[in-house]
Structure 1
Amino acid sequence: MKEIVMFTGPAAGLWICGPLMSLIDTAVIGQGSSVELAALGPATVVCDYLSYTFMFLSVATSNLVATSLARGDKDEVQHQISILLFIGLACGVVMMAFTRLFGSGVLAGAKNAEIVPAANTYVQIRGLAWPAVLIGWVAQSASLGMKDSWGPLKALAVASAINGAGDLVLCTFLGYGIAGAAWATMVSQVVAAYMMMDALNKKGYNAFSLCVPSPSELFTIIGLAAPVFMTMMSKVLFYSLLVYFATSMGTSVIAAHQVMLQTYNICTILGEPLSQTAQSFMPELLFGINRNLPKARMLLKSLVIIGATLGIVVGTIGTAIPWLFPTIFTHDKVVTLEMHKVIIPYFLALSITPSTLSLEGTLLAGRDLRYISLSTAGCLAVAGLLLMLLSNGGFGLRGCWFALVGFQWARFSLALVRLLSRDGVLYSEDTSRYAEKVKAA
């Protein structure tokens, strides 16, 4: 338990910095314009949620680095980092071009045309940081795979400070509005990426070394990344559907949903260190030389206990902020009323998330990728249908959030059933199902 806390403590701050940047933007923009606040809804879908589709880079890096370190092969670790840095850079350049060419077209699909120009301004500026964001993710995940969460935390702490100061100067004092918030966030992301790479260099690895993967290496990474990509896409699609249905309910509802979703994201991210802990510590217990399934089960039990406790605490605090202090985000009483309508489903969805992430992190560490990808896609299909029915049935924003409750609890239930199964990775002595993937890694 002590080892988990020593790792997850800094990692909690590490994961919270990203959503904190968007939350700072939300708070600053909300003080000036409800229209620009509403525009952050679809804009953050393109900038933040779309970036989650590349979470496979993070998962692949952590797993491959942790596995290689367990074998004591430092040269292999360096080679994998160089390959993944190249893939991150390539994906970042492609996404920067995509944002420039098609960003406005994607936003044009929003049902409220009034917010599209402001949203597009935000997206185009933030899009310049795509290469830095994805390279930074690889460097960050490599450090986490080495069980180091302090180096990346320092980098993102500096980046968050830059973002906050930039928002204050550009938006509050100079009056640049949503464009100023975008510039502050973009610059902070570039600084964070550089500092992540520098932290990796100090560990004796060359974070500025890029290597083009061979066809076999690329196939190995795709084999590991494809199910993770499918899992992340299912989550992104569901959250995008939430924003899509909310945009048809009026500017005030969109603004309220933006505030609640941003505070929700920054609270749920506190559970991510539990997932990362499982991905960093489980491979050695499941596939290492000194394989120890009882210890792996003990680790998961500790993670779930911490997750349940964290869920209740974070759920309570996260609910109290928009309920008791809504003026932090907006002075519009109509927006505040819409925020208060979703307090109950907000808590129900938030409280289960840390435990869910600890279970899913264990499935990822155990290379049970096919199950987690298919189960998450199934949750998307059922919860998406529920979301459509509730939205069209006149339940408003409250209906959207109860659909989110169903999505989160379904993910928790399916992951728990799988891990408790006697055929699951924590109980089965037969590793032949995973042997090929482990050998490739």
Structure 2
Amino acid sequence: MFRLQMTLLVVSFLLYQSTCDGFSEHFTTRSKSGAGVRASSHRRWRDSFPSTRQWMSSQAANGEAALQGNFLGYQDNTVKPSVSSTAALTVEKQQQKQIIQDYNVPSVRKVLAFAIPAVGVWLCVPLLSTIDTATVGLIAGTAQQAALNPAIAVMNYSAKLMTFLFSGTTTMIAAAQERDRSIQKDCVDNDNPRQQTVHCLIGALQLSTLVGAGLGALVFVLARPLLFALMGSASTDPTILAAATSYVRIRAPGMAAAAMVGSAQTACLAQGDVRMPLYATAITAIINLVLDLVLIPTVGGAAGAAWATTLSQFLSAAWVMQWLIKTKRTRASATATSKVEQDNNLKQSTSTKSTRGFLAGRMRFRDLLRMPSRDVSKGFAPFVIPVITTQAGRCSAVATIDHVVSSSLSTASMAANQILTCVYYGLVPVAEGLSLAAQNFVPGITERDGSPREKSIAMRLLLKSFLKSAGLCGIMLATIMGTLPLYSGAFTTDAVVRGIVSSVVPLFFITCLKHGVFCASEGILLGQKDLRFLGAQYAVYTFAIPYLLLQLKKAALAGSSVGLFDVWRLFLMYDLFRTAVMALRIFRLERKRASAGMV
């Protein structure tokens, strides 16, 4: 086990060394330099990275000295409060307030107000799968419910491939809003308010529909091979395989609607509308539950559940489009909407933080079937490979853990693992909202016209808000996960299983405690479009982590004492290191930004 841990540390260190720009050149230069050069380099680095308080205090002090002509900090050998120091603090607060206002730097409350509704984006697909599992088990029996296990896994893993649409939409909408603000500031009599945001949103909806339809067609064709890969062709029950295949193929067309709804939800969140995403998720879940109760007894088992889910997704997509292109008071067609009404809808959506009627008169239902504009498609291109690689890295570790547990550990360990992962993966989406929040707020700083010094100060204030928000989120998740032994009896009555759960919970407690920091860090890097770093990191993790986990399986089959605790301890080490690597990367980028601000 010690050898595996050391191998993981070495691989992770080499990864970080390869992704840091100029890492080796920095040490080469230092090794060839003398002591004087090293000291000079240290002074330059120290001077190029002053704190926000030092810089603002110096600016205020200089201004006060210029006004008064001198600076007296001591009088009669007694230390007294300096007028300049008081003025410096006042000016510092004023400058911070001005930067917060100019760059829209979010407070902790604002971050959480965005992140909490964003949970609905990530919970939608798992929530529908959970409803299907419960209703099929209660109505259709164990065999049909067993077929949902691999079928839902195929659908959930396939849905992960669409997450680049949500990340790209959030970042691009935020950047488009900044461009619209700049245009509005330069031209007060602008005839096309928020034109950049409208153009970006329409293109995102069109591209999402196209990508979702293409991915759905691919899943439909590859349904049986994908299920064979998960279930194993040798011991597959033909009845279960047939039911699972039917479920996947019926749900595949619904991926187009799911992609469009997800992009619309993230776009609305990026514009400050927190109601629409929650409404969409709730409407989809309620429709799915009602249709499950009707179609499972009539159509039959897994197939009925699949039809219910697919229909609920398309009905939800229709409701979302109705929300965007229709206003409360008008029932006229989109073509009949006057130019004045269109501009009023845009201005009203800005002032009320509601996206209802945002696209009134600018988009119709059939426009979803059109090709997106080239500039919007090019804007999504940088997100495709890195985000898909990121999701592949996440899924590869989880899938390998499931394989190792089911193929080499005891039945009690398998049951305990199911309980632990059921609770853990139900909590994970809560922190994912921080990632979307970061992708929304960071472009407001990086894409805005301004001095490097102001951007550096704004970014530090943003990082401070996200660190506090991530800490609160981590404490909440860790509390729920850490108290699992108290309510594990709701999942099982087996004392052995409950004992295994209690022994592994401390590892999950640590994982949950830092998960908010991990999600926020990933979102900040995505918001800065540091996609090459993320792609390279997860490309290594995709292969390295499964390899190390399979070594545990090999050791267990060889007779070594390997348990569930060992499996999740290895995952915890990986999780801690990837979080640390992302945090160090953010620190390094911020140091570069601060150095640029001093030039």
Compute the TM-score of the two structures, normalised by the length of structure 2.
Answer: 0.63
| Paired amino acid for 1:52 | K
Structure 2 distance, partners of 1:413, 1:83, is 36
1:412 corresponds to: 579
| Paired amino acid for 1:412 | T
Distance 1:387 1:159, change over 3 A: same
Distance 1:246 1:85, change over 3 A: farther
Structure 2 distance, partners of 1:332, 1:168, is 32
| Paired amino acid for 1:185 | T
Q: Is the 8 A contact 2:121 2:265 kept in 1?
A: no
Shift of 1:276: 1.1
Structure 2 distance, partners of 1:292, 1:188, is 44
Shift of 1:293: 2.6
Distance 1:165 1:155, change over 3 A: same
1:141 corresponds to: 266
Task: Give the 3-state SS of the residue equivalent to 1:292 in structure 2.
Answer: helix
Distance 1:355 1:37, change over 3 A: farther
Distance 1:422 1:303, change over 3 A: closer
Structure 2 residue 411 is the aligned partner of structure 1 residue 304: no
Task: Give the 3-state SS of the residue equivalent to 1:107 in structure 2.
Answer: helix
Q: Is the 8 A contact 2:116 2:430 kept in 1?
A: no
Gaps of 5+ in 2: 1-107, 184-193, 326-355, 557-561
Structure 2 residue 553 is the aligned partner of structure 1 residue 391: yes
Structure 1 distance, partners of 2:553, 2:518, is 26
1:266-308 residue CA offsets vs partner (Å, 9 max, x unmatched)? 2110011111111111111222135533232222222222222
Shift of 1:45: 2.6
2:157 corresponds to: 49
Shift of 1:309: 2.5
| Paired amino acid for 1:233 | A
1:362 corresponds to: 524
Structure 2 distance, partners of 1:409, 1:41, is 30
Structure 2 distance, partners of 1:175, 1:255, is 32
Q: Is the 8 A contact 2:162 2:212 kept in 1?
A: no
2:119 corresponds to: 12
Task: Give the 3-state SS of the residue equivalent to 2:442 in structure 1.
Answer: helix
1:198-237 residue CA offsets vs partner (Å, 9 max, x unmatched)? 3333242237434424556534421343322222222233
| Paired amino acid for 1:404 | F
2:208 corresponds to: 88
Structure 2 residue 407 is the aligned partner of structure 1 residue 248: yes
Task: Give the 3-state SS of the residue equivalent to 1:421 in structure 2.
Answer: helix
Structure 1 distance, partners of 2:266, 2:246, is 30
Q: Is the 8 A contact 1:383 1:406 kept in 2?
A: no
| Paired amino acid for 2:468 | I
Q: Which of the two has higher C-alpha Rg?
A: 2
Q: Decide which moves more: 301-310 or 270-279.
A: 301-310
Q: After the TM superposition, which residues 54-133 of structure 1 pair with which residues of structure 2 at under 5 Å, given as runs?
A: 54-72=162-180, 74-109=194-229, 110-111=231-232, 113-114=236-237, 116-133=241-258
Distance 1:354 1:39, change over 3 A: farther
Q: Is the 8 A contact 2:119 2:432 kept in 1?
A: yes
Structure 2 distance, partners of 1:57, 1:104, is 26
Structure 1 distance, partners of 2:411, 2:210, is 37
Q: Is the 8 A contact 1:21 1:163 kept in 2?
A: yes
Structure 2 residue 596 is the aligned partner of structure 1 residue 429: yes
Structure 1 distance, partners of 2:419, 2:247, is 17
Shift of 1:333: 8.6
Distance 1:326 1:96, change over 3 A: farther
Q: Is the 8 A contact 1:82 1:207 kept in 2?
A: no
Task: Give the 3-state SS of the residue equivalent to 2:596 in structure 1.
Answer: coil
1:183 corresponds to: 307
Q: After the TM superposition, which residues 365-384 of structure 1 pair with which residues of structure 2 at under 5 Å, given as runs?
A: 365-384=527-546
1:317 corresponds to: 480
Structure 2 residue 450 is the aligned partner of structure 1 residue 295: no
Structure 2 distance, partners of 1:239, 1:312, is 23
Shift of 1:113: 2.2
Structure 2 distance, partners of 1:322, 1:186, is 37
Q: Is the 8 A contact 2:434 2:520 kept in 1?
A: yes
Q: Decide which moves more: 77-86 or 337-346.
A: 337-346
Distance 1:4 1:57, change over 3 A: same
Q: Decide which moves more: 175-184 or 297-306.
A: 175-184
| Paired amino acid for 2:119 | A
Distance 1:5 1:38, change over 3 A: same
2:58 corresponds to: none
Distance 1:106 1:15, change over 3 A: closer
| Paired amino acid for 2:585 | R
Q: Decide which moves more: 374-383 or 30-39.
A: 30-39
Structure 2 distance, partners of 1:184, 1:121, is 13
Q: Decide which moves more: 225-234 or 211-220.
A: 211-220
Q: 2:392 aligns with which of 233, 254, 277?
A: 233
1:174-198 residue CA offsets vs partner (Å, 9 max, x unmatched)? 7944444433333332233333333
Gaps of 5+ in 1: 431-441
2:280 corresponds to: 155
1:402 corresponds to: 569
Q: Is the 8 A contact 1:132 1:190 kept in 2?
A: yes
Shift of 1:142: 1.5
| Paired amino acid for 1:406 | M
Cα RMSD (Å) of the superposition? 3.4
Structure 2 distance, partners of 1:39, 1:404, is 28
| Paired amino acid for 1:413 | A
Distance 1:212 1:174, change over 3 A: closer
Distance 1:12 1:86, change over 3 A: closer
